[in-house]
Structure 1
Amino acid sequence: MDIPPEASSPEIVRREEVPTAVVRATVRMDEISQVFDRAYPLVASTLEQQGGRPLEAIGYYPSMPSETIDVEAGFTTAAPATDEGDVVVSSLPGGDVARLTHLGPYDTLAESWERLGRWVAEQGRRPGRGVWEVYVSEPTPDSDPATLRTDIYWPLES
């Protein structure tokens, strides 16, 4: 597998817990884009009605996928929001996490996750539960998929 020169090297960073406002769903992998398409405008609108604002666009996956995947799609927030309808308060975990920047289309994210998992094992660390993605680049109809930036995070056991 060729690694784009713009992609970052994996690293371990310490993060604080971060509040989020999300829509939760359990879906088949081929339905996941529909969750994001519905969640982002709904969460952004709800946050604005509550006097907050969306920060980073995220997808949090509390468990490894099987035939279906559990996902929390929404945004990090500066302060906790309030549950309202399908929008619920959650958080991204704090502690030691392995981080990698993925450059390219979303359909190649699995390769970056595999790379990060191998790197974590090479460091003698054990991956924890739950992983997340921060969608740094906002995809638009005119976006070149090769330029999309996604930061991926994998919590580590102590």
Structure 2
Amino acid sequence: MSFRVGNAFSDPRVTMRQPQPVVLIRGTLNPAHVSAFYATAFPELASWLNLNRIPVSGPPVTLSHIASSTMMEVAAAYPVTVKVPTTQRITMGTLPGGPVASLIVQGSHEYLADGYDHLRAWLGENGYGPGPVSWASYIRLPDEHGDQRACVTELSWPIA
């Protein structure tokens, strides 16, 4: 995996993926409120999974879809391998299968927007269209002191 000089992300690649079931909490909100949504949704979801003894099969995931110029549809999710009971707030969903373009972002979550911009540009430059939803898989989270330098995040975007 090569990282571009001056950037914290790898060259994009396309892989074939199987659909991945996830348990999630959705929100439709102004982009300014996304961080606050994730800050409450992930602990709530993790607590619910623990309480119900439901194992996760991968790292936490954030999904996003731009609904309008002022609103985003987002979700905090965990991959699972079993069907889970749902509530009004906690539901099942699926990460899309098929061809997916992805790249790895190393370091601070501040680099994620640049990584998504690079991935979208790469899709266009290579004759692909972006699918309607994208997601970030948080492979390595900040350490116990909140230091994000060692974070590793995979950004994924299905090809339309």
Which TM class, normalised by the smaller chain length? 0.7 to 0.9
Unaligned runs of 5+ in 2: none
Query: Do the aligned residues in 2 keep the contact of 1:26 with 1:71 (CA within 8 Å)?
Result: yes
Cα 1:63–1:39, aligned 2, differ >3 Å: closer, same or farther? same
Do the aligned residues in 1 keep the contact of 2:17 with 2:99 (CA within 8 Å)?
yes
Secondary structure of 1:136's counterpart equals: strand
* Contact map agreement 2:142 2:149 (CA 8 A) in 1: no
* Distance in 1 of aligned mates of 2:43 and 2:88: 14
Q: Equivalents in 2 of 1:107, 1:122: separation in Å?
A: 24
User: What is the identity percentage for the equivalent residue pairs of Structure 1 and Structure 2?
Assistant: 25
User: How big is each residue's C-alpha offset from its partner over 1:96-118, in whole Å with a ceiling of 9 and x where there is no partner?
Assistant: 01000011222221111111111
- 1: CA distance between counterparts of 2:97 and 2:105? 21
Which residue identity does 1:38 align to in structure 2? T
Aligned to 1:116: 119
Among 13, 37, 42, the residue aligned to 1:35: 37
Cα gap change, 1:32/1:141 in structure 2, threshold over 3 Å: closer, same or farther? farther
Equivalent residue for 2:91, pick from 84, 88, 93: 88
1:51 aligns with 2:57: no
- 1:14-61 CA-to-partner distances (Å, cap 9, x unmatched) read 111101111111122221122112111221222233331233200111
TM normalised by structure 2 equals 0.87
Q: How does 1:1-158 map to 2 (within 5 A)?
A: 2-4=6-8, 7-54=9-56, 55-63=58-66, 66-140=69-143, 142-157=145-160
Distance 2:137 2:40 in 1: 17
Once residues 137 and 69 of structure 2 are traced to their aligned partners in structure 1, the CA distance between those partners, rounded to angstroms, is: 22
Q: CA deviation at 1:149?
A: 1.3
Aligned pair count reads: 155
CA distance in 1: counterparts of 2:68 and 2:142, whole angstroms = 24
Query: Any stretches of 5+ residues in structure 1 without a counterpart?
Result: none
Q: Residue 56 of structure 1: SS of its match in structure 2?
A: coil
Q: Distance in 2 between matches of 1:139 and 1:99?
A: 21
